[in-house]
Amino acid sequence: MGASTDWREYLPEDLPKVLDAALQEFAENGYHGTSIRDIAARAKLSVPGLYHYHASKQDILVALVTTVMNDLTTRCEAALATATTPQDRFDRLVECLVRFHMFRREAAFVAASEARSLDPDQRREYVASRNRVQAMIDEVIADGHAGGVFATPYAKDAGRAITTMAIGVASWYRADGALSADEVVRRQVEFARGVVGRR
């Protein structure tokens, strides 16, 4: 999805044409409101041509969700790797979550909202991926509390509040809005610091 060596950089999305078409269709009409014919038409393929790439609509959703979660996880791991202190690890991870939900709004929305449409085994894999990301911020908060940096003893509650806030940015952020991307990030990180009670 727009590969970059910098976790802060978001190149234009470069999904394969079938996944790109599916993303647009699912975002507009939902998984159950989208047919294979709809995806094929948007991808400018015949239905048999689409089946050359994916065996079913479910396979397309799985591939799309997996791509989105891999992108988010990779970026979060890279953000953590660039920091050493608990404060910096926290700030960079929050920034990473916020930027992802600003610049991959549609992809993040579809992955989260259509996880319910995944088959049970695939849904469990999605939940495991989501939980890995959540665990990153929970652990950073817990480590910060243990080290006397953060006041809250409720790492998991604080972590959930912060990820919910970051996810919510996707619902209102606009590139042409009153605030620059960097200013949105600065404010969201400041709000997140308030949640953990930085000392």
47 φ/ψ sector (left φ>0, alpha ψ -120 to 50, else beta): alpha
Mean pLDDT (whole number) for 136-164: 96
Tokens encoding 30: 């939902």
Domain carrying residue 87: 56-196
Residue with tokens 């950089």: 9
pTM of the model: 0.92
Question: What was the pLDDT predicted at 13?
Answer: 86
Mean pLDDT (whole number) for 108-137: 95
- Residue 180, in any domain of the structure: yes
Mean pLDDT (whole number) for 137-163: 97
Burial of 51 (0-12, 13-18, 19+ CB in 10 A): middle
- Residue 140, in any domain of the structure: yes
CATH code at position 94: 1.10.357.10
| Mean pLDDT, rounded, of the chain | 95
- Residue 123, in any domain of the structure: yes
Residue 167 has pLDDT above 60, yes or no: yes
- pLDDT tens-digit series, residues 28-59: 999 999 999 999 999 999 999 999 999 999 99
Question: What was the pLDDT predicted at 141?
Answer: 97
- Residue 10, in any domain of the structure: no
Maximum pairwise Cα distance, the chain: 60
Q: How far apart are CA 137 and CA 159, in angstroms?
A: 6
Question: Cβ atoms within 10 A of the Cβ of 32, count?
Answer: 11
Question: Cβ atoms within 10 A of the Cβ of 23, count?
Answer: 24
- Residue 13, in any domain of the structure: no
Question: What was the pLDDT predicted at 198?
Answer: 80
Q: What percent of the chain has pLDDT over 70?
A: 97
Domain count, the chain: 1
Q: How far is CA 7 from the centre of its chain?
A: 13
Backbone angles phi, psi at 146, to 5 degrees: -60, -30
- Residue 23, in any domain of the structure: no
Confidence of residue 4 (pLDDT cuts 50, 70, 90): low
- Residue 106, in any domain of the structure: yes
Three-class SS of residue 198?
strand
Confidence of residue 5 (pLDDT cuts 50, 70, 90): low
